[in-house]
Structure 1
Amino acid sequence: MVRVGIVGASGYTGAELIRLFRRHPEAKICLLAARTHAGKSLPEVFPQFWGLEDEKLIAASPEELVREVDVLFTALPAGEAISYARAAWQAGKKLIDLGADFRFREASIYERWYGLSHGAPELLREAVYGLPELYRDRIKTARLVANPGCYPTAVLLALVPLLKAGQILPEGIVVDAKSGVSGAGRQPKMEMLYAEVNENVQAYNVAVHRHTPEMEQILQDKLGKEVRLTFVPHLVPQTRGILATIYAPLAPGVTTEDLLATYREYYREEPFVKVLPAGVYPRTKSVWGSNLVQLGAVADGRTGRAVLLAALDNLVKGAAGQAVQNFNLICGFPETMGLEDSGIYP
């Protein structure tokens, strides 16, 4: 059994990691760390875990935590995972970070978009971007994995195959994406109150969202040239789910069936990417609680644009589920282990 530790266990992503690892046959959760709830039992923090009163949340130094595990997961705000990554690296342990601290190759980009000085720039060149469908072979040998953001996971899986095939063009891409409120985390915020969110759809961080450079970096890596996109995220009154609608210039003569055929070929052996048939479009409800991504596409010949759609659960494939997928890869387990269950509907 691989000994697993979760730092940031009192957040929504932490809870989802606990849920998934409780049914993983080759992993044992050895510690749950959360400074703000240290000393409490797990059910006191998350009532869905009643019966696990003996599981206590702790607070300890990075060095102390690393000694107790083989793989450490960090689900923390920007800047807070760095000390744990350094401790894990020095101890020869593996770490999967679900935050943003190791997603960028250049510290300057992180510092510009997150407003923080990076405390371990030497580790950026060691980190592997943890999107298995694009970087599987590199993840398998990694000791430090940067789990992608939820929006980038949906957007990159929709864009990369079609851009590489030349069926859409990289100039003038617009991403319109909607997310449920759990994507904002569990810390109380006025704008997340029920009266503020209910019956309200609102854009936020227009053209300045921190996931923008993350998406552009991976697109540049896959295409070998700079790609700029316009990203407009929206908050919608639901708990989970992301639906990304992407508009991109269409190459001459490309049809809807061409786009879908490229998706089907690119993802033909991917267990977690489901390409929908023409005329059927992704829905957040269809992936709720699962590690699946649904993809759809339409070639609008009248306007010369492709309309691409992707749906995922922001807490699973957009966070904890993808982290378990990466865990399986770095540990040599079947990639689907612990993630086989379908979602919950309705």
Structure 2
Amino acid sequence: MTRVGIIGASGLAGGELVRIVDQHPHLELAFLGGSRNVGQPLVAVHPGLRSTAGTVIEAVSASEIHRRCDVVLLATPAGVSAELVPALSGGSTTVIDLSGAFRLRSDEAHHRWYPGVTRDPKLVAGFTYGVPELIADELTSADLISLPGCYATAITLALAPLVFGLELADSTVLVDGKSGSSGGGLRARRANLHPYRHGAITPYAPIGHRHAAEVQGFFAERAPGAGVSVSMSAYGVAHVRGLLASCYVSGNWPMDSRTLARAYLRYYKAHPFVRVRDHRETVIPMPDPQAVLGSNFCDITALHDPEGGRIVALAALDNLVKGAAGQAVQAVNHRFGHQPELGLTMQPVVPA
């Protein structure tokens, strides 16, 4: 068994991590850490997790984590992760961070998007960053892993076949992102109260989003000659879970939608969590976040718009699963030699 610790267990992503790890045949919940709810049983903050009724949230202790855990998952804000990683790294425990503390290699970009987060610069280069489908081989020996944000996961998966498969270069990508309220976590803010959130389409990041900086940095490192430029606008919508990233790639590409679909199917043939969809194959146009909720799937469609001179790549996922906890467990599977799909084959809940 692989012994798993989860820090930030009382948060939304932490609860999803517990749910998935608890049903995994080769993972054992060995430590649940937090700050606000120390001493409380986990079921008090996550009422649905009845199978963990005897599990208590503990104060974070690096020595206890090193003693009891093979891997620790940080479902914590970026500032907390930046403080914890120096004490947790360097031992026999693998660290997987779900926050943005170590996602951006560039110090300039990091200070731009995480101005209040001070991290140890010596640790940045030691982190392996990326979506498991694209960097699986590197995860098998990684001791420090930084997972992409939810939007960055969707956007990178939507664009990877174009950049790495079709080798389209010098592309400008405009991203329209729409996500549910769970993306903002559990902090009480007036804009997230029901009277304001219900029925709303809220432009909370209309002229830039830090997940776009992640995507651009990833492609700059992995495909330096591609020249991919990414800018993004993000909107909050009246769902709880799920997001849709609509990526508009400019350029007069000599291909039709059928050619694009074949290229995407080939690229993701060996990756069961990425489902390449025909836009009109079901009773609702695809991709749609409601068709992936509760699952580790990312649904993708790529279309050619000859009138607009662009490719439209759409990606939908559950931000708490494939955008956070699910791909964290994917990374654990790769790192510790379990089957990549193990514990993650749950089907979506439709309707939800």
Which TM bucket (shorter chain)? Answer: over 0.9
Aligned residues: 346
Asked whether the equivalents of residues 130 and 218 of structure 2 are also in contact (C-alpha less than 8 Å), the reply is: no
Tell whether the 8 Å contact from 1:130 to 1:139 is kept in structure 2 after alignment.
no
Match of 2:181 in 1: 181
Report the counterpart of residue 11 of structure 1 in structure 2: 11
Measured in 2, the distance between the counterparts of 1:125 and 1:304 equals 38
Matched-pair contact (CA < 8 Å) for 2:166–2:263: no
The CA distance in 2 between the partners of 1:206 and 1:215, in whole Å, is 17
Stretches of structure 2 lacking an aligned partner (at least 5 in a row):
none
Deviates more, 1:312-321 or 1:101-110: 101-110
For 1:294, the equivalent position in structure 2 comes to 299
Give the equivalent residue in structure 1 for 2:98: 98
Tell me which residue corresponds to 2:315.
310
C-alpha deviation, 1:72, in angstroms: 0.4
Match in the other structure for 2:274:
273
Deviates more, 1:290-299 or 1:248-257: 248-257
Give 2:262's aligned amino acid.
Answer: A
- How far the C-alpha of 1:168 sits from its partner, in A, is 5.0
1:319-334 pair list within 5 angstroms: 319-334=324-339
Q: Is the 8 A contact 2:213 2:230 kept in 1?
A: no
Q: CA deviation at 1:82?
A: 2.6
Instruction: Tell me if structure 1 keeps the 8 A contact 2:246–2:314.
Output: yes
What residue identity is the alignment partner of 1:311?
A
Taking a change above 3 Å as real, the CA distance of residues 71 and 196 of structure 1, as seen in their structure-2 partners, is same
Alignment gaps of 5+ in structure 1: none
Q: State which drifts further: 118-127 or 256-265.
A: 118-127
Give the percent of matched residue pairs that are identical in Structure 1 and Structure 2: 35
1:51 and 1:133 map into 2 onto residues whose CA distance is 31
Question: Which region of structure 1 is more displaced relative to structure 2, 217-226 or 228-237?
Answer: 217-226
Q: Distance in 2 between matches of 1:238 and 1:117?
A: 29
Q: Where in structure 2 are the equivalents of 1:187-202 lying within 5 Å?
A: 187-202=187-202
Does residue 269 of structure 2 align to residue 229 of structure 1? no
* 1:117 Cα offset (Å): 4.8
1:218, distance to aligned residue in structure 2 (A): 1.1
One-letter code of the match for 2:330? Q
CA contact (8 A) 1:4 1:69 kept: yes
* Conserved 8 A contact 1:98-1:323: yes
TM-score after normalising by structure 1: 0.95
Write out aligned runs for 1:164-179 (5 A): 164-166=164-166, 170-179=170-179
Please tell me whether the aligned partners of residues 169 and 251 of structure 1 are also in contact (alpha carbons under 8 angstroms): no
Secondary structure at the aligned position of 1:325 is classed as helix
Counterpart amino acid of residue 243 in structure 2: I
Contact 2:101/2:117, CA 8 A, preserved across alignment? no
| Aligned alpha-carbon RMSD (Å) | 1.6
Following the alignment from structure 1 to structure 2, what is the Cα–Cα distance between the partners of residues 84 and 270? 33
Distance (whole Å) between structure 1 residues aligned to residue 334 and residue 111 of structure 2: 30
Indicate the larger mover: 27-36 or 100-109. 100-109
- List per-residue Cα deviations over 1:167-211 (Å, max 9, x = no partner): 755433110011010000012111110011001111112223221
